[in-house]
């Protein structure tokens, strides 16, 4: 119930920030086009057409982005790339969110020895060269989408856990929690009624940062050839393909690269904007 | 020609409804001390920043500020840097924030000398050392290399004063210089300012909300309200015959010790409501391998009768908050027991029954922080009802919430507001409503009015008194403010470094205290009466470290009456005429208040 | 202080051990073995090979054998290149990557701090907005987009700089790879520096400095620089990781025979010992660097050094 109230508050504040609205809007637009575009196009992401390789972008024959080196329609493939990239990012972020929030909230709330132990574990894990281990993972096992989710989720939850734990600790020290204890609210009640709604802001802001991180990891893996496998594709894989065609057909590189850059930029601006909203405005009456 | 002349000063910010400062005129002569008094938001600090040229870049300032006849408002930074701090300097409210935590204090002062080419090298260092000595630092050589976090609050403020006066300015502006300090330290700092001022013939512009500070330290006073200057004159005249309504209101709300308490004590032969028996609290330092033990509270006992107000007084580190939290079950206690209506209470608040919990509630110091920022006012007040009587239906809850709002004098329009949308006074009323909605028998106020302005404070205290009369509510007031104690309490418990010094009735404590610390507290309090006789410094030094308390009586290093026995033997708590005291010399000393 | 440092060192050991164990287990659990990519081998030969590489021993024994080998500097033989050991392969590739990384990191620090400070002191001017915008791009655009674009721009179209490593010699072939490697870090560092600097310049103790009549330069030098740059130290760990992962991409794109390329090729070829060895080396570098940063932080922050 208090969570709904916190959401409401956030919603009304969002309207005040132009940055948030614009970047959010762009992301939404990209998402919609990515979903609808392939449905509207006559081409499929699979069809190779060796007679029509590396065509430049043109409106004719609905080749909006041209074709790649195997004659596949680039528009449809790029849109698919966007779908996959965003899907992986969001799902992996949710995975790391759930793990991170639970871990951090428990550590912060229980405190004492348990907290110290849990945070030591995080410290040890934090120092692991995750990217390299993930690459190793991709090398060693079948490259499935599931594995990618797991890998990316496993990287990001640490940051979220730390942030949530820190926030939980500071909330726990606040006097309104003492007041609740005096009233007789049970520890479970305190967690759900007082701590969780106040974690909201921090979690939302961090989500907007973990999503681009997840995108980067997935794209990085795909760029190296260790991520998503043919014939499916993601933006990272498309960029990889584009690099080899860089000199003859620059658009094969520029289009997916540009889209990737725009998506990441929007998420970063969104995160910045939300973070600005959360802090100083609360003070102003 | 006046030293400083301010004419038609106006400071405003884009997007604000009204100006922070408008139409302010005043002047200061050489060597004079002028006080600017007003509640928070009255524009005092903005005025000071405007004079110093320290306004933030988005401020619009107009009017005229003349120092030695030169227009300095809007002057180029290069010129201002020639004037600061050699002609005018400023001391700020929070010394911890005002000092660079990454440089040792000696270097910070030396940089001033070097930047203004006053002195360098060896000469500069010596000048800094002599200045540190002048402001009363006990060991300048060693403290030269200390960092701000290694010094106490009082010492930090002394360092800040040293940094302001080291270039011997003609004008010193002090913005709430003592608000963040204990009252005994405050008295020392104010005395120091006066002494230095006279020695260097520096004019002082003292900004404060505390009329007692102004009464004792300023020749002339200026009163500000909501950005405007409403009254000006000699301090004597202003206190004796205030003209403007605002001034009158401030003076009326000012803390006084010479008025009688507001309510008569309850009948003494009733059964005690709360019995605290030899409670003590200790903490362990958070360090790997176990740290030192900190005894925050040593065994203390006291009782509270129905309808009575017991005040617990002490400065920072006295343990008063830890004591009360242990009684409430928020902190684990080391020894002792707590009894309510004869029934022993469990150690932790979680183990107590709902019935017991609702009897003792608390109101905290920071009103806005004690309310959940994600909840509406109505949910905040409704929560206790939902927890204690879960069966209550929605209509019943609404009714109870409205009644509670009414009782604390808040309009029902505030039901849907969030805590950050309330003023300090409103938030505190909500906190009180939340505490009282369960009809507790005891309400504990932990510095509940310390963060509030004078007039708001008076209203909240009136509210509490009305509740007490209405329902025979007992109050435990934790405070460092003796004026609040005088007004509200029936009996007073004085604590120092976790130990009980004195327990006495209100009249007894203020008329004839038995412990030297109590006497020093009374003497340190700034009285809002310019004609009152000011005592010499009541208390030197600062409380010792809690981790390594002095042997014997912990107060002895600062006590004017200490004898050899005090260094060796811990004084026991002895009973005396309706009270208790822990001092070896209690029987022989006469510490009565002179009429 | 000594206690602080030794605690940190002790804390790093479990991490290193954990890395070795995890990586080792993953490698052993993976399908494929030495030289089986070349052709299908008859079973007896496979068994002999397995025995020669100790692959038929129980896992914990293999692990211990590996660790003791590590301590001697022996990382085992490569699974793909018959004539080389892992140590030799890594040893020949490491110096180049190290050099590139060092130059890139130094460049990143100098340019990043510089632009961050300038942007902070000229807050909200056109220059600031320009620099912040470029920094935003540097953070958002991944290095495997930046690097090809740089090649496209400077090598293909403008033809100012060489596009590949082996195609030229001398300083010029360093320029693009180093810059590509450094750019994301320049952006991060600039952003952090700018943010911290703005925060410090608005702080109360800087206001005190102004009240003391100190000019902007004095304030920056005596009061603002240290508090603003100290948090940057905490970023150095992630920055190092960024450069290491970035080097994988950059070496790929420019064809530089460094550790990154070795690693990726080994990964794609399932040369497990090389992959294992590289991962451990990366881990050691990161852990050591973090340790250094931690200790340095403890030395520089007076609140830690003197309690």
pLDDT tens sequence across B393-402 = 889 899 999 9
Which distant-in-sequence residues (6+ apart) come within 8 Å of B146 by Cβ? B104, B105, B106
Number of domains in chain B: 2
Please give the angle made by the CA atoms of B136, C304 and B296, to the nearest 5 degrees: 65
Tens digit of pLDDT for each residue in B368-419?
889 998 888 999 999 999 988 888 888 989 999 999 999 999 988 888 888 9
Tokens 């993953």: give the residue: C26
Q: Which residue has the higher pLDDT, A275 or B88?
A: B88
Tell me the C-alpha to C-alpha distance, in Å, between residue B380 and each of A3, A183, B393: 14, 11, 16
Query: Chain A within 8 Å of B286 (Cβ-Cβ)?
Result: no
Cα(A32)–Cα(B156) distance, rounded to whole angstroms? 60
| Interface contact flag, C215 B77, Cβ < 8 Å | yes
Q: Which C-chain residues 233-252 have CB contacts (< 8 A) with chain A?
A: 241, 244-245, 248-249, 252
Cα(B5)–Cα(B224) distance, rounded to whole angstroms? 17
Shared domain for B300 and B387, answered yes or no, is: yes
Query: Chain A within 8 Å of C152 (Cβ-Cβ)?
Result: yes
| Interface contact flag, B90 C211, Cβ < 8 Å | yes
Nearest chain C Cα distance for residue B128, angstroms? 14
Task: Note whether B171 and B83 are within 8 A (CB).
Answer: no
Query: Residue B575, SS3?
Result: strand
| Interface contact flag, A285 B421, Cβ < 8 Å | yes
Q: What pLDDT is stored for residue A2 in this prediction?
A: 58
**Which structure tokens are listed for B322?**
């830890």
Shared domain for B423 and B540, answered yes or no, is: yes
- Where residue B41 falls (left for φ over 0; alpha for ψ -120 to 50; beta otherwise) is left
Task: Note whether B110 and B158 are within 8 A (CB).
Answer: no
Tens digit of pLDDT for each residue in C155-192?
877 777 777 777 667 777 888 889 999 999 999 999 99
- Judge whether residue C70 has pLDDT over 80: no
Tens digit of pLDDT for each residue in A170-190?
888 889 999 999 998 988 888
**Which structure tokens are listed for C77?**
């033989």
Domain assignment of residue B312, given as a range: 274-581
Task: Note whether C273 and A140 are within 8 A (CB).
Answer: no
CB-defined contacts A:C, below 8 A: 125
Nearest chain C Cα distance for residue A245, angstroms? 11
**A36-50, B326-340, C12-26: segment of lowest average pLDDT:** A36-50
| Interface contact flag, A176 B328, Cβ < 8 Å | no
Interface mutation target, options A12, A115, A169, A176, chain B, most CBs of B under 10 Å: A176
CATH of the domain at B459: 3.40.50.300
Shared domain for B296 and B149, answered yes or no, is: no
| Interface contact flag, C209 B100, Cβ < 8 Å | yes
Nearest chain A Cα distance for residue B127, angstroms? 42
- Paired with B280 in beta bridges are B335
Cα(A238)–Cα(A231) distance, rounded to whole angstroms? 11
CB atoms within 10 A of CB B269: 6
Tokens 């009684």: give the residue: B327
| Interface contact flag, C140 A268, Cβ < 8 Å | yes
Tens digit of pLDDT for each residue in B158-176?
999 999 999 899 999 999 9
Query: Residue B520, SS3?
Result: helix
Tens digit of pLDDT for each residue in B132-154?
999 988 889 889 989 998 888 88
**Which of chain B's residues have a Cβ under 8 Å away from the Cβ of A174?**
369-370
Shared domain for B453 and B416, answered yes or no, is: yes
**Which structure tokens are listed for A113?**
């020895």
Shared domain for B349 and B206, answered yes or no, is: no
Average pLDDT over residues B312-328: 90
**Which of chain A's residues have a Cβ under 8 Å away from the Cβ of B361?**
182-183
The residue ranges of DSSP E strands in B402-518, in sequence order, are: 442-446, 474-479, 491-496, 499-505
Shared domain for B193 and B226, answered yes or no, is: yes
Which of the four pLDDT bands, split at 50, 70 and 90, describes residue A281? very low
| Interface contact flag, B54 C211, Cβ < 8 Å | yes
Tell me which range, A35-49, A63-77, B416-430, is most confidently predicted by mean pLDDT: B416-430
Query: Chain A within 8 Å of B379 (Cβ-Cβ)?
Result: yes
Q: Which B-chain residues 401-420 have CB contacts (< 8 A) with chain A?
A: 418, 420
Residue B308 lies in a domain: yes
**Which of chain C's residues have a Cβ under 8 Å away from the Cβ of B84?**
210-213
Closest-CA residue of C relative to A122 is: C15
How many H helices and E strands in chain A? Answer: 12, 0
Of B87, B27, B23, B19, the residue nearest B52 (C-alpha): B87
Of B121, B289, A225, the residue nearest C264 (C-alpha): A225
Nearest chain B Cα distance for residue C208, angstroms? 6
Cα(B547)–Cα(B538) distance, rounded to whole angstroms? 25
Closest-CA residue of C relative to A264 is: C140
Q: Which residue has the higher pLDDT, C231 or C45?
A: C231
Which residue among B360, B362, B421 sits closest to A179, beta carbon to beta carbon?
B362
H/E segment holding residue C3: helix C2-29
Tokens 């038609």: give the residue: B8
Query: Residue B88, SS3?
Result: strand
| Interface contact flag, A183 B376, Cβ < 8 Å | no
Neighbours of chain C (3+ CB pairs under 8 A): A, B
Nearest chain A Cα distance for residue B364, angstroms? 7
Shared domain for B249 and B279, answered yes or no, is: no
Nearest chain B Cα distance for residue A211, angstroms? 26
| Interface contact flag, A128 C145, Cβ < 8 Å | no
Cα(C185)–Cα(C243) distance, rounded to whole angstroms? 8
Look over chain B and give the mean of its residue pLDDT values, rounded to a whole number.
88
Q: Which residue has the higher pLDDT, A145 or A33?
A: A33
**Which structure tokens are listed for C57?**
């021993």
**Which structure tokens are listed for C245?**
């992962």
Side by side, the strands of the sheet bearing B293-304 are B293-304, B274-284, B335-340, B343-344
Shared domain for B153 and B290, answered yes or no, is: no
| Interface contact flag, C211 B84, Cβ < 8 Å | yes
Nearest chain A Cα distance for residue C267, angstroms? 6
Q: Which A-chain residues 15-74 have CB contacts (< 8 A) with chain C?
A: none
**Which of chain C's residues have a Cβ under 8 Å away from the Cβ of B111?**
212, 214, 218, 222
CB atoms within 10 A of CB B539: 23
Task: Note whether B220 and B35 are within 8 A (CB).
Answer: yes
| Interface contact flag, A181 B434, Cβ < 8 Å | no
- Where residue A214 falls (left for φ over 0; alpha for ψ -120 to 50; beta otherwise) is alpha
| Interface contact flag, B147 C227, Cβ < 8 Å | no
**Which structure tokens are listed for C192?**
């952090």
Tokens 């030094």: give the residue: B541
Closest-CA residue of A relative to B385 is: A183
Length of chain B: 595
Q: What pLDDT is stored for residue A239 in this prediction?
A: 87
Nearest chain C Cα distance for residue B289, angstroms? 12
- Judge whether residue A284 has pLDDT over 50: no
Task: Write out the DSSP string of C147-205.
Answer: HHHHIIIIIIIS--S-SSSTT--STHHHHHHHHHHHHHHHHHHHHHHHHHHHHHHTSHH
Tokens 């009640």: give the residue: A189
Task: Note whether B314 and B494 are within 8 A (CB).
Answer: yes
Tell me the C-alpha to C-alpha distance, in Å, between residue B273 and each of A175, B264, B418, B476: 26, 18, 36, 12
**Which of chain C's residues have a Cβ under 8 Å away from the Cβ of B101?**
205, 227, 302-303
Residue B304 lies in a domain: yes
**Which structure tokens are listed for B243?**
């003209």
Cα(C132)–Cα(C250) distance, rounded to whole angstroms? 25
| Interface contact flag, A183 B328, Cβ < 8 Å | no
Task: Note whether C227 and C200 are within 8 A (CB).
Answer: yes
Shared domain for B242 and B288, answered yes or no, is: no
Interface mutation target, options C4, C123, C203, C208, chain B, most CBs of B under 10 Å: C208
| Interface contact flag, A193 B383, Cβ < 8 Å | yes
Tell me the C-alpha to C-alpha distance, in Å, between residue B128 and each of B81, B162, C145: 20, 8, 57
Q: What are phi and psi of C243, to 5 degrees?
A: -70, -40
| Interface contact flag, B100 C204, Cβ < 8 Å | no
**Which structure tokens are listed for A20?**
């948030």
Tens digit of pLDDT for each residue in B197-253?
889 999 999 999 888 899 888 999 999 998 899 999 999 999 888 898 888 888 888
Q: What pLDDT is stored for residue A276 in this prediction?
A: 77
**Which of chain A's residues have a Cβ under 8 Å away from the Cβ of B364?**
175, 178-179
Length of chain C: 307
Q: What pLDDT is stored for residue B454 in this prediction?
A: 81
Tokens 């209550």: give the residue: B392
End-to-end CA distance of chain B: 43
Task: Write out the DSSP string of B311-373.
Answer: EEE--TTS-HHHHHHHHHTSS--SEEEEEETTEEPPSSGGGS-HHHHTTEEEE-SSTTTTS-T
Nearest chain C Cα distance for residue A242, angstroms? 9
| CATH H superfamily, domain A2-39+71-282 | MetI-like (1.10.3720.10)
- Where residue B342 falls (left for φ over 0; alpha for ψ -120 to 50; beta otherwise) is left
Q: What are phi and psi of A259, to 5 degrees?
A: -60, -45
Shared domain for B184 and B301, answered yes or no, is: no
Neighbours of chain A (3+ CB pairs under 8 A): B, C
pLDDT > 90: what percent of chain B? 36
Nearest chain B Cα distance for residue C223, angstroms? 7
Nearest chain B Cα distance for residue C218, angstroms? 7
Query: Residue A67, SS3?
Result: strand
- Judge whether residue B488 has pLDDT over 60: yes
Query: Chain A within 8 Å of B346 (Cβ-Cβ)?
Result: no
Residue B590 lies in a domain: no
Cα(C206)–Cα(C201) distance, rounded to whole angstroms? 6
Task: Write out the DSSP string of A201-222.
Answer: HHHHHHHHHHHHHHHHHHHHHH
Query: Chain B within 8 Å of A2 (Cβ-Cβ)?
Result: yes
Answer positive or negative: Cα dihedral of A237, C101, C190, C146. negative
Q: What pLDDT is stored for residue C306 in this prediction?
A: 62
Cα(B389)–Cα(B438) distance, rounded to whole angstroms? 10
Rg (CA), chain B: 26
Q: What pLDDT is stored for residue A59 in this prediction?
A: 65
Of C172, C169, C107, C177, the residue nearest C148 (C-alpha): C177
Q: What pLDDT is stored for residue C279 in this prediction?
A: 86
């Amino acid at each position: 119930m208090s969570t709904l109230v916190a959401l409401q508050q956030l919603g009304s504040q969002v309207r005040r920030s132009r940055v948030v609205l614009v970047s959010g809007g762009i992301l939404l637009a990209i998402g919609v086009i990515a979903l609808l575009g392939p449905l509207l196009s006559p081409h499929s992401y699979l069809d190779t057409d060796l007679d029509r390789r590396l065509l430049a972008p043109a409106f004719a024959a609905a080749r909006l982005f041209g074709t790649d080196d195997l004659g596949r329609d680039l528009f449809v493939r790029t849109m698919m790339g966007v779908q996959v990239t965003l899907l992986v990012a969001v799902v992996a972020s949710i995975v790391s969110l759930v793990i991170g929030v639970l871990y951090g909230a428990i550590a912060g709330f229980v405190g004492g020895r348990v907290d110290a132990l849990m945070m030591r574990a995080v410290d040890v894990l934090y120092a692991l060269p995750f990217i390299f281990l993930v690459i190793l993972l991709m090398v060693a096992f079948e490259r499935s989408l599931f594995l990618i989710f797991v890998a990316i989720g496993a990287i990001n939850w640490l940051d979220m856990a730390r942030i949530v734990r820190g926030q939980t600790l500071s909330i726990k020290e606040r006097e309104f929690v003492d007041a609740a204890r005096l009233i007789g609210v049970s520890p479970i009640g305190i967690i759900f009624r007082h701590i969780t709604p106040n974690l909201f802001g921090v979690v939302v802001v961090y989500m907007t940062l973990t999503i681009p991180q997840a995108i980067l990891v997935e794209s990085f893996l795909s760029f190296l050839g260790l991520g998503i496998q043919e014939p499916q594709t993601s933006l990272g894989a498309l960029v990889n393909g584009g690099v080899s065609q860089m000199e003859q057909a620059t658009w094969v590189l520029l289009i997916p690269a540009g889209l990737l850059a725009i998506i990441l930029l929007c998420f970063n601006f969104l995160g910045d904007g939300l973070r600005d909203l959360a802090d100083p405005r609360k003070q102003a009456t | 020609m006046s030293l400083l002349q301010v004419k038609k000063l106006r400071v405003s910010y884009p997007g604000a409804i009204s100006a922070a400062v408008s139409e302010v005129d005043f002047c200061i002569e050489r060597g004079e001390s002028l006080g600017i008094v007003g509640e928070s938001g009255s524009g005092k600090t903005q005025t000071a920043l405007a004079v110093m040229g320290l306004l933030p870049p988005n401020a619009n300032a107009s009017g005229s500020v003349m120092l030695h006849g030169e227009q300095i408002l809007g002057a180029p930074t290069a010129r201002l840097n020639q004037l600061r701090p050699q002609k005018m300097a400023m001391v700020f409210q929070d010394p911890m924030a005002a000092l660079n935590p990454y440089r040792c204090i000696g270097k910070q002062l030396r940089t001033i000398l070097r930047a203004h080419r006053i002195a360098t090298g060896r000469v500069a260092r010596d000048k800094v050392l002599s200045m540190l000595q002048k402001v009363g630092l006990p060991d300048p050589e060693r403290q030269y290399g200390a960092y701000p976090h290694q010094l106490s609050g009082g010492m930090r403020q002394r360092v800040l004063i040293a940094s302001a006066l080291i270039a011997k300015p003609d004008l010193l502006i002090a913005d709430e210089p003592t608000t963040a300090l204990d009252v005994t330290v405050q008295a020392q700092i104010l005395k120091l300012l006066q002494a230095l001022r006279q020695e260097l013939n520096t004019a002082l512009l003292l900004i404060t909300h505390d009329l007692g500070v102004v009464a004792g330290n300023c020749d002339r006073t200026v009163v500000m309200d909501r950005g405007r200057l409403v009254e000006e004159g000699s301090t004597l005249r202003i206190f004796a015959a205030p003209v403007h309504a605002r001034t009158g209101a401030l003076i009326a709300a000012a803390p006084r010790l010479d008025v009688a308490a507001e309510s008569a004590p309850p009948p003494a032969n009733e059964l005690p409501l709360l019995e605290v028996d030899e409670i003590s609290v200790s903490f362990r330092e958070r360090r790997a391998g176990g740290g030192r033990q900190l005894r925050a509270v040593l065994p203390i006992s006291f009782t509270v009768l129905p309808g009575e107000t017991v005040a617990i007084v002490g400065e920072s580190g006295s343990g008063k908050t830890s004591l009360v939290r242990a009684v409430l079950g928020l902190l684990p206690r080391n020894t002792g027991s707590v009894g309510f209506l004869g029934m022993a209470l469990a150690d932790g608040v979680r183990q107590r029954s709902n019935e017991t919990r609702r009897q003792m509630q608390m109101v905290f110091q920071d009103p806005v922080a004690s309310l959940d920022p994600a909840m509406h006012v109505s949910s905040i007040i409704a929560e206790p009802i939902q927890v204690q009587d879960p069966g209550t239906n929605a209509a019943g809850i609404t009714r109870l919430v409205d009644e509670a709002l009414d009782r604390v004098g808040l309009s029902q329009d505030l039901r849907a507001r969030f805590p950050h949308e309330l003023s300090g006074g409103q938030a505190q009323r909500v906190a009180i409503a939340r505490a009282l909605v369960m009809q507790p028998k005891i309400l504990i106020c932990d510095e509940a009015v310390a963060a509030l302005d004078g007039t708001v404070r008076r209203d909240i205290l009136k509210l509490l008194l009305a509740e007490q009369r209405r329902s025979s509510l007992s109050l435990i007031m934790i405070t460092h403010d003796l004026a609040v104690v005088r007004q509200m309490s029936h009996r007073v418990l004085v604590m120092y470094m976790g130990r009980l010094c004195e327990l006495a009735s209100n009249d007894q404590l203020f008329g004839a205290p038995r412990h030297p610390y109590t006497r020093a507290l009374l003497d340190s309090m700034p009285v809002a009466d310019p004609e009152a006789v000011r005592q010499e410094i009541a208390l030197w030094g600062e409380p010792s470290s809690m981790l390594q308390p002095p042997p014997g009586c912990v107060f002895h290093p600062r006590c004017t009456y200490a004898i050899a026995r005090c260094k060796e033997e811990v004084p026991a708590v002895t009973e005396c005429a309706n009270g208790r005291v822990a001092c070896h010399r209690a029987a022989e000393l006469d510490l009565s208040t002179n009429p | 202080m000594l206690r602080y440092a030794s605690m940190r060192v002790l804390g790093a050991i479990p991490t290193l051990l954990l890395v070795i164990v995890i990586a080792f287990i993953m490698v052993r659990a993976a399908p494929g073995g030495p030289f089986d990519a070349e052709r299908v081998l008859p079973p007896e030969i496979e068994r002999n090979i397995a025995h020669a590489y100790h692959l038929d021993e129980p896992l914990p024994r293999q692990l211990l054998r590996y660790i003791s080998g590590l301590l001697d500097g022996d990382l085992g033989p490569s699974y793909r290149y018959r004539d080389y050991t892992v140590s030799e392969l890594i040893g020949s590739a490491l110096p180049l990557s190290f050099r590139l990384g060092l130059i890139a990191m130094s460049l990143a620090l100098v340019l990043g701090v510089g632009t961050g400070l300038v942007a902070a002191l000229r807050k909200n001017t056109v220059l600031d907005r320009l620099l912040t915008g470029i920094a935003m791009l540097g953070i958002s655009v991944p290095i495997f987009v930046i690097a090809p674009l740089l090649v496209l721009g400077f090598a293909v179209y403008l033809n100012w700089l060489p596009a590949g490593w082996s195609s030229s010699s001398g300083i010029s072939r360093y320029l693009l790879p180093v810059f590509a490697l450094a750019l994301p870090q320049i952006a991060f560092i600039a952003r952090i520096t700018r943010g911290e600097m703005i925060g410090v310049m608005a702080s109360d103790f800087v206001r005190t400095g102004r009240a003391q009549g100190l000019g902007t330069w004095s304030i920056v030098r005596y009061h603002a620089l240290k508090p603003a740059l100290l948090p940057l130290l905490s970023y150095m760990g992630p920055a190092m990781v960024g450069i290491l992962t970035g080097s994988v991409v950059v070496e790929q794109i420019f064809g530089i025979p460094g550790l990154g390329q070795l690693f990726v090729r080994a990964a794609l070829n399932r040369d497990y010992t090389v992959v294992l060895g590289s991962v451990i080396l990366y881990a050691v570098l990161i852990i050591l660097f973090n340790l250094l940063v931690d200790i340095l932080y403890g030395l520089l922050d007076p609140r830690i050094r003197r309690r």
